[in-house]
Amino acid sequence: MKTYLAKHRNDLVIVGLFALAFAFSFALQWDFGLRTAGSFAHSFREMISFLPAIFILIGLVDAWVPREVVARHTGKGSGWKSSVWMILLAMLQVGPLYGAFPVACLMWKKGTSPRNIFIYLGAFSTLKLPMLGFEIGFLGLKFTLLRTVLSVPVFILIAITMDNMFGKDFVINDVSGGKGPKAAAGGVGAKS
């Protein structure tokens, strides 16, 4: 508990200050504060509507899916077919991009190649099916199709570039516990 507080001191101070400011806004009926609280409530609802479930799913996949299975299908040298699977997997996701980072971390720990991680992030940010439904509804089919068709080559190109730049000693820090990047890197070392 103490280490938790210490580790997240900066963020917790910000959260505490805002909670206080919100409380005062309600007490004094301060309009700006109330509107800010409303805006926060909106994005908080979005976050809480999917994120806890995602983390439980991450835990389940972590416990049940063996490393070598993931590594064999999506690891280095798994070919372009694996990238198609990464895209399809990303399309089924929901929520903003920050929700994809912990999933990417899990996949990396399980042996997914850097290129496929970047492809996953690209597809996640542009091709999520629930989002596409929304997009068609508000901006039309022509807009959505055109944007989607243009996005695919762009994010694949970005993934290849990122892989060329950072693929060699690629590391994703494990934020699930007190383990730092070293512990995570050790996990990979154990693989080879």
Partner 1 sequence: MTLYLATFALLLLSLAANRQKTIKALKTGTMMFLNLLPAFLSILMLVAVVLTLIGPETIRDWLGSNSGSMAYVVAAVTGSIALIPGLVAYPMSGMLVDNGVTYPVIAVFITTLMMVGIVTLPLEKKFFGIKIAVARNALNFAGALVIGLTMALVWNLL
Q: Which stretch binds partner 1 (CB under 8 A): 69-77, 78-86, 135-143?
A: 135-143
173 binds partner 1 (CB under 8 A): yes
- Residue 27 CB, nearest approach to partner 1 (Å): 18
Distances (CA, A) of 87 to 81, 117, 126: 10, 10, 10
46 binds partner 1 (CB under 8 A): yes
Provide the residue type at 129 as one letter.
L
Count of residues near partner 1 by CB under 8 A = 76
Residue 64 burial (C-beta neighbours within 10 Å; 0-12, 13-18, 19+): exposed
Of residues 74 through 93, those in contact with partner 1 by CB under 8 A are: none
| Among 30, 55, 67, 185, contact with partner 1 (rule: CB under 8 A) | 55
Neighbours of 47 (CB within 10 A): 14
| Among 165, 180, 182, 183, contact with partner 1 (rule: CB under 8 A) | 165
CA-CA-CA-CA dihedral for 92, 184, 74, 166, to nearest 10: 100
66 binds partner 1 (CB under 8 A): no
